[in-house]
A and B are shown apart, each in its own frame.
Chain A
Amino acid sequence: MHGYANPARFLRLARILTGPFLIAGIALSLAAAAWGLFGAPAERLQGDSVRILFIHVPAAWLGMGGWTAIALASMAELVWRHPLAGIAARAIALPGAVFALLCLVTGSLWGRPAWGTWWVWDGRLTSMLVLFFLYCAYIALADAANRDGENGSRLPAIFGLVGAVNIPIIHYSVLWWNSLHQPPSISMGKSEMAPAFLYGLLAATIGFSLIFGAVVLMRMRAILANAQAEARLRRRAMEAVDV
């Protein structure tokens, strides 16, 4: 892993992977969306409103997966001081927040026809909203800490680890507490979902994940390029003073 501590080596790999990730991700997501809109059957109870499943569920998984990745990167930052860990966590935060928000918005749109309400304060919905707020706080904190320079990634890393407590709470909220949201349809090799929904969902999830990965790589490259440009400017300013 420390082989990629060298940003130049990481950048070479990132440059190669970004394009294919993005193209494959968009293609797969569009295919899954087309299946969801035109191919998938109507559900026995919910009818056509079930089609939003192909956006809502992958968005929820990626919103949670994003914070899990932030927590792992934070661990690598705190323990091993991996030079790219803090940058990776900062790059993940924004797309993670977008997916969490997408999950909340599509869930609300789905809740109106399925449950009869846009929003309720049950365990699942509340903990997901908390995740979105955690992302917002993380982005603000990481930006502020970054301006402090050298030790700027320590505090966001601690926050990233602490915030990970919310992830199992989101998952178990529908099992621990009575909630309006139904329990998970897919768990450990068991699916309560008909194949027509399940395979479309898997395709959408892979597609969304590839887009997520491409965005993270692009953002990491941008953060590294920014740091490089700043360092160069600083050096030039020093030279100007010396002359």
Chain B
Amino acid sequence: MSGAIKAKHQRLVLVLIALAALIGAGLLAAWSLRSQASFFYLPAEMAAKPPEPDRAVRLGGMVEAGSLKTDPDGVTIRFVVGDGKARIPVMFKGIVPDLFKENSGVVAEGKRAADGTFVADNLLAKHDEKYVPREMKEMTEAQARQTVEVTK
């Protein structure tokens, strides 16, 4: 009987060591992937290390309030993507997703032009983690937060 218990403990220790090694390996892999596995560049990253003009990259951030403008041709739009540290002007020609608006998240796929403008050939809308009913939209930010707080 004591032999059986010992074997059981030995297996437990072995499995725990294997698990610790696995989790360590997983964390290491995730850490080394931290820049490669990101889906887009933030404006600050793009400003600090601009990609070559011909490389297809993604730029993600907030559409700055008041920056969205439509060119006279009616289909080309220009706006500024910011993250609080850097601002990058973006140009896009085409149909925007429904959730694309100012003060909201966006991921632009395209290339950096020589003059520093980001020329997007596709726009994806990125929304935040807040889920608020339409009727609550008119509330101020503080009121909404309070209402959300109640659900804690």
- Using a CB–CB distance below 8 Å, which chain A residues touch chain B? 40-47, 50, 53, 75, 78-80, 113-117, 120-123, 161-162, 165, 168-169, 172-173, 176-180, 182-185, 189-198
Contacts and interface: CB of A to CB of B under 8 A. Distances in A.
Interface of B: 8, 11-12, 15, 18-19, 22-23, 25-26, 30, 33-34, 37-42, 60, 96-100, 104, 107, 123-137, 147-148, 150-152
A79 B107 contact: no
A194 B148 CA distance: 5
B129 A161 contact: no
Contacts of B136: 44, 194
Main secondary structure of the interface of B (DSSP, over half): mixed
Contacts of B40: 178, 180
A46 B60 CA distance: 20
Nearest to A172: B30
A79 B131 contact: no
Nearest to A126: B37
B27 to A, nearest CB: 9
Contacts of A162: 22
A194 B147 contact: yes
A122 B100 CA distance: 19
Contacts of B129: 182-185, 192
Given A41-B134, A176-B30, A192-B148, 7 more contacts: A42-B133, A44-B137, A80-B8, A123-B37, A162-B22, A165-B25, A182-B128
A165 B23 contact: yes
Contacts of B99: 45-46, 114-116
Contacts of A182: 126-129
B150 A195 contact: yes
Contact of B124 (A75, A168, A173, A180): A180
A189 B38 CA distance: 28
Nearest to A167: B26
A117 B151 contact: no
20 contacts: A42-B133, A44-B136, A45-B99, A79-B12, A114-B97, A115-B124, A122-B39, A162-B22, A177-B39, A178-B60, A182-B127, A183-B129, A185-B131, A191-B148, A192-B129, A192-B130, A192-B131, A193-B130, A195-B150, A196-B133
A169 B26 contact: yes
Contacts of B107: 180
